[in-house]
Chains A and B, each alone.
Chain A
Amino acid sequence: MAAAFDQKVVMLFEDEGVNALVKNQYPESMGLKNIAPILNALPIYDINNVLVEKESMDAWGLVVGQLAIEVTSVSRRDIKRQINSADHVFSF
């Protein structure tokens, strides 16, 4: 939505949120929506900057190859620097 308004958007996944990106999710088995199509459509909305926090990935035993989309793994410290320069932080 923010990208549709021409805003510069960076999406960040941290802590247990990194698990939302893993491949081979099958929520349909519970009648729930699969977010994989939405994730794959992010570039269409000019969201090419999906970051995962390296420390969270390590904590959950994940590597970027296990994720459903292309991401950049960034250290907590570097993420903080980016966040500090943001106008707004939108949390989910």
Chain B
Amino acid sequence: MLYIVNKKGEVLENCIKRVMANDVILLIEEAVFTALVTKPPSVLSELISNVAVYALTPDMEARGIDVKRCYEHIQYVDYAGFVELVENNKPVRSCF
């Protein structure tokens, strides 16, 4: 299952409560901020290891978020990659 999450805070937390092995999370829009390493740590740092987390690079670039400041397990896609994630995962759930 693919979760498309566009907000940090409760929306992302409610998603993370529900992910299971082999799910995929895609962070878009404001949610890309949660890829950043922060103190205290972002909710993403606790994610189970078999859940892939992607961040949408145009949203990162728009916000000046440097990959070097982000958690190591985050992967990155552009819009073409976003389309591929949709193609390769079913069902798709938007969290907003």
Contacts and interface: CB of A to CB of B under 8 A. Distances in A.
Chain B interface mostly helix, strand, loop or mixed? loop
Contacts of B37: none
Interface stretch (A27-35, A38-46, A64-72, A79-87): A79-87
B18 A89 contact: no
Query: Chain A interface residue count: which class?
Result: 10 to 19
Contacts of A15: 14
Contacts of A86: 91
A14 B13 CA distance: 13
Interface residues of B, number: 12
Interface in B33-92: 90-92
B91 A87 contact: yes
Interface of B: 1, 14, 17-18, 20, 90-96
Given A14-B14, A84-B1, A91-B95, 9 more contacts: A55-B17, A76-B17, A76-B18, A80-B1, A80-B18, A87-B91, A88-B91, A88-B92, A91-B93
Query: Which 10 pairs between the two chains have the least Cβ-Cβ distance?
Result: A89-B93, A89-B91, A86-B91, A15-B14, A91-B94, A80-B20, A88-B91, A84-B1, A76-B18, A80-B18
